[in-house]
Amino acid sequence: MLNIGIIGAGGGGRTAGFALIMRGVARKVVLIDQNAKRAEAEAEDIAHATPFAYANKIKAGTYKDLENTDVVIITAGANQKPGETRNDLLATNVKIFESIIPQIAQAA
């Protein structure tokens, strides 16, 4: 079983975490988000929704919690705003990834 980190606790991140726990794919899942309270709330929701699934753990954490992680899933990114071009959205998401990737590389 794997230790998995998920960066981004929005729709994609919480769905991935729920699916990993329900399928018994991961031993441990860590949700990381720039909004730590959101990550904690999503992790608690998943933990409460899956008590009879597998003996896995899900928690909110920080990049330091990615140590010994087998897989890191990045779901973080900005949503496209009305009138925003795809190129503008790409530029915004590049900045987000430039802040995320070094922290992942250092911790994992």
Interaxial angle between packed helices 36-49 and 11-23, expressed in degrees from 0 to 180 and rounded to the nearest 10: 30
Please check whether residue 104 is in contact with residue 63, taking contact to mean a CB–CB distance below 8 angstroms: yes
| % of the chain exceeding 70 in pLDDT | 97
pLDDT of residue 102: 97
Render pLDDT for 11-55 as a digit per residue (tens, 0 to 9). Answer: 999 999 999 988 888 889 999 999 999 999 999 999 998 777 766
Phi and psi, residue 74, nearest 5°: -105, 115
Q: What is the pTM of this model?
A: 0.91
Q: What percent of the chain has pLDDT over 90?
A: 82
CB 4 within 8 A of CB 68: no
